[in-house]
A and B are shown apart, each in its own frame.
Chain A
């Protein structure tokens, strides 16, 4: 009775976990689809073996004399205990190698779009390097063209992180002083969620990001927009911009096209256009900017941005409105 009361809600959670932005069982990328295929194959195969073993056990316990004699014979032991496992596992292993091989660096596209992703405590520095070698820095969000394999060059600025977008591919570690290459190929437009999959200190659980797969033409127009400098602040935003430039924000953050040239923290040139703030910790709106600036240490404890409790409510709103319109 109590077991049932426990299992029903838990299984509801489990079913929930299979759908959504961060589920390996709901793939939308080439590698994740292959992983999905392999996963289902293994699950079905293992289930079949389990059922077979249960049946044989039942026969051994309750079956007739003739059946029991048959399964205790040497042929059953050699066939079912040696030949079958060796054969079945070898086939599965071979199939696994065959299936997962295209996910390796063999798919390298010379001169194509590359994305450098640097794991930082506790956010992602994302730099797009396009066909012409132009570099566009962004943060905490990765955009991909649908149907084109894109190389992600992964490294870390401090400790070991790991990049995992379950809907698109398996995970790959980001190791200081080393570059690992992960190829992502989105098969349909949409949003997936990824996160750091290697414990990297206090706010590790808040080190996430969104991956947005876009049709090719939308992606290229987005990338050229992203490469632009920030628009000049309108008159309404002038007060917010002045606060941003004079209160120390620029020591760590860059907004291209202004005097803000800091490189310690995330590039904020187009921060208003991203799907989240603080590495997918908060929604992206004016209220979230206010919260992050004033009480970032409560929202994401131990993150490396110092608390800025120096602003009045009005100043905070001006500053947040300025950041929000950086699109």
Chain B
């Protein structure tokens, strides 16, 4: 055959035959089950190389546009470490401790994260924690609305290995394992409430964790139920509430209502308190913001949380969450959404500082919603 006079139909025939053969071979390969998916046998070197390259390029590209907030915040690190203890330790183990021999059998095995803060920039850590990684066993965050929680965990991971020595204290391990009532039947590490929330005489583990002592029982029970149903979004609390029985939820709600509140330590500036007080007690009529204390003073429905003495950082973060549309999953949340949407950033900080400065669980007795006109 003269190659110079090759007609296009001949080229097409050869190409067609070749493609057909490849498809048949591919099909035989897949159906035969020759490929070994066993985790006990490592990938070929070239497969490992390709998988690693694809993973790293994907992480770098997808985290490129993420803006990193301030992470050197102790309360963020504490919240992150506390969630790490419940959510991440089962596979990654505590920083510096070797992963257990069961998860070591995974392919790829979960990396030890002791040095993660050195290897990876925070935006990459954030992206991986939020979205998880396909084919590695790394799960995505429980929901996509709680970037604030993902950043808290990122803050902790980014602070490694410097904070590894304080891990026990940061994650609340030194706060004790709780009493029988606080530790539900299965006793899993995840469910030790006192690692984060108050325990007799001790305040919360950092001010991003809500204070629960003295809260109305009905509100606490409803919150646990909403977390368990997934209608209130939280990557931290949903997994905790999932494991609780109805009975355990009731016991916990009753326990925290009865727990005496611990005095706060906030020292905000008086000018900010004055502005915050005006919002909390009288609202901002022109902006359509009602007085916070007309629902949250403790004298109203037992379904409303009492905000006097609540941690300021927690209040701020929740109002911001409402503004992002992250708390409209429940009927109560939808009421508050209208209020949160009317506040601006400065007002959120002012009012949170004022509420945090009140004696825990006790709002001023004066009529709260005075005539605003």
CB within 8 Å of A: which of B295-326? 295, 299-301, 303-304
A250 touches B369 (CB 8 A): yes
Interface assignment of B176: CB less than 8 Å from any CB of chain A: no
Q: Which of A251, A259, A309 contacts B295 (CB 8 A)?
A: A251
Tell me which residues across on chain B come within 8 A of A104, comparing CB atoms: none
A263 to B288 CA separation, bound complex (whole angstroms)? 9
Minimal Cβ-Cβ distance residue in B for A297: B334
Interface of A is mostly: loop
Q: Is there contact, CB below 8 Å, between A304 and B331? A: no
B residues in contact with A307, CB < 8 Å: 331, 334-335
Counting CB contacts under 8 A, is B69 at the interface? no
B97 in contact (CB, < 8 A): no
Q: Is A54 an interface residue (CB 8 A)?
A: no
The answer, among B331, B339, B371, for a CB contact under 8 Å with A261, is: B371
Is B155 in the interface zone, CB < 8 Å from A? Answer: no
Asked whether, in the complex, the Cβ of A261 is within 8 Å of the Cβ of B369, the reply is yes
Within 8 A of A (CB), among B256-273: none
Provide the residues of chain A in CB contact with B332, threshold 8 Å: 310
Instruction: Please indicate which of the listed interface residues B294, B336, B373 has the most CB atoms of chain A within 10 Å of its own CB.
Output: B294
| B337 (CB) vs chain A CBs: closest residue | A306
Q: Which of B286, B337, B369 contacts A262 (CB 8 A)?
A: B369
Tell me how far the C-beta of A301 lies from the nearest C-beta in chain B, rounded to whole angstroms.
14
Q: Which residue of B lies closest to A260 (CB)?
A: B369
Q: Smallest Cβ distance from A267 to chain B, in angstroms?
A: 11
User: Which of A246, A247, A262, A309 sits near B290, CB closer than 8 Å?
Assistant: A262
Contact of B303 among A157, A251, A252, A310 (CB under 8 A): A310
Docked Cα-Cα span, A310 to B332, in Å, equals 6
Known contacts A263-B285, A310-B332, A310-B335; is-contact A251 B369 (Cβ 8 Å):
yes
Contact: B370 with A308, CB < 8 Å? no
**Taking the complex as formed, is B80 at the interface, i.e. its CB lies under 8 A from any CB of chain A?**
no
Residues of chain B lying within 8 A (CB to CB) of residue A259? 367
A202 interface contact, C-beta 8 A: no
Q: Is A248 an interface residue (CB 8 A)?
A: yes
| Contact A264-B285, Cβ < 8 Å, known A306-B337, A307-B331 | yes
A259 to B368, CA, bound (A): 9
Mark each residue of chain B from 333 to 373: 1 if its CB lies under 8 Å from any CB of chain A, else 0: 01111110000000000000000000000000001011111
6 new A-B contacts at CB < 8 Å, known A251-B283, A262-B290, A262-B294:
A246-B299, A250-B369, A261-B371, A306-B334, A306-B339, A310-B303
Contact surface of A with B, Cβ cutoff 8 Å: 157, 245-248, 250-252, 259, 261-264, 304-310
13 A–B contact pairs at CB < 8 A? A248-B290, A248-B304, A250-B294, A259-B367, A261-B370, A262-B294, A263-B373, A264-B288, A305-B338, A307-B335, A309-B331, A309-B334, A310-B303
In order of increasing CB-CB distance, the 10 nearest A-B pairs are A251-B290, A309-B331, A251-B294, A306-B338, A306-B335, A246-B300, A248-B295, A246-B301, A263-B372, A310-B331
